[in-house]
Amino acid sequence: MDANIEDFVQTTTAFVSAKMVVSSSHKPTSDNPMLKNITVIVLLTCASIANCAESDRLLNSKKRILFLGDSITHAGHYITLLETHLRAEDPEAIPELINLGLPSETCSGLSEPDHPFPRPDVHERLGRALAKVKPDIVFACYGMNDGIYYPFSEERFAAYKAGVGRLIGKVKATGAKLVLMTPPAFDPLPLQQKGKLLPAGADKYAWFSIYEGYDDVLRRYSQWIMQRGDRVDLVIDLHTPVNAYVAEKRKADANFTMSPDGVHVNNEGHQVLAETIAAALGIKQLKADTVLAQLVSKRQKLLHDAWLSHVGHKRPGVKEGLRLQEAKTRAAELIPLP
């Protein structure tokens, strides 16, 4: 088994095996620390999503779900967790989950001066993606790269808002439902411990020299996303639950982190993202299956690479995928769609 997949499966199994049970009084029914952490995530999510009454019906009778985002979505672990649950829940009614996450991508079109290449802008490929995938639902998660790791500025914020607005317009024009997700949190601790953060007033910043207060930028972006519930079908706060989970874990371990580079959450972090999304969709507990999760992970990676190449993009250094039909044939050999 691939080492990354094996690590992912082990983390997933260990995490999900803790039962996510909340009583009618919203108090955890166990003293298990992991259970309390998951309870925090669920309660925060239920308190922050919009259109909650409709969320549990969002996936009903849907055939194709498209995920758009940056490198966090590109990693795909949270999508694998969601697909594993759906297959375990009802293998005969599983929708097709298509991951088109692309590393470095923004929805604002911005790029820091020292980035090795212009950051890809989702709008360069969004039209092709919608035309080729023909999704029933689109999940979009942008913001981490859109502040380009600088202190907050109204100009950059305006570019982000304009980019999200364009994305909403393009998706809704196809008739697809749209779920907007906030960016996850930036964790300054691991970079602070290495002396790799920059204070306000520096000449320039980049993904490798990040503003020390960058999570405040993401917080403002996230708050704005959460106010877009009247324009989309669902909004989901990923930022608050990630920060809450980390804060809870640091009560026992002051050095705890899920983001060794401050930006990219590890498998435990993807579990938090998946639990948060699931709760927003009315799923009370993600089902875990070690063997199934391994197969889904392989299937997702195979199709992700193929779909990225099929749609096309301008991000250098991304592995070329198989031709889409060949990838689908191989994926069906791993797990056939109903």
Share of the chain above pLDDT 90, in %: 75
- Looking at the predicted structure, is the pLDDT value of residue 20 above 80? no
What CATH number should be reported for the domain whose range is 3-334? 3.40.50.1110
Lowest mean pLDDT among 92-96, 99-103, 108-112, 270-274: 92-96
pLDDT at 130: 98
In a 10 Å sphere around its CB, with 0-12 CB exposed, 13-18 middle and 19+ buried, how is residue 254 labelled?
A: exposed
User: What one-character-per-residue DSSP string does 138-170 give?
Assistant: EEEE--TTTTTTSPP-HHHHHHHHHHHHHHHHH
Residue type, 75: A
Residue type, 22: V
Q: What is the DSSP letter of 205?
A: -
For the entire predicted model, the pTM comes to: 0.86
Mean pLDDT in residue range 69-89: 95
Within the chain, residue ranges assigned H as helices are 3-16, 33-48, 52-55, 71-75, 77-89, 123-133, 154-173, 189-193, 214-226, 239-249, 267-280, 290-311, 324-334
Render pLDDT for 289-316 as a digit per residue (tens, 0 to 9): 889 999 999 999 999 999 999 999 999 9
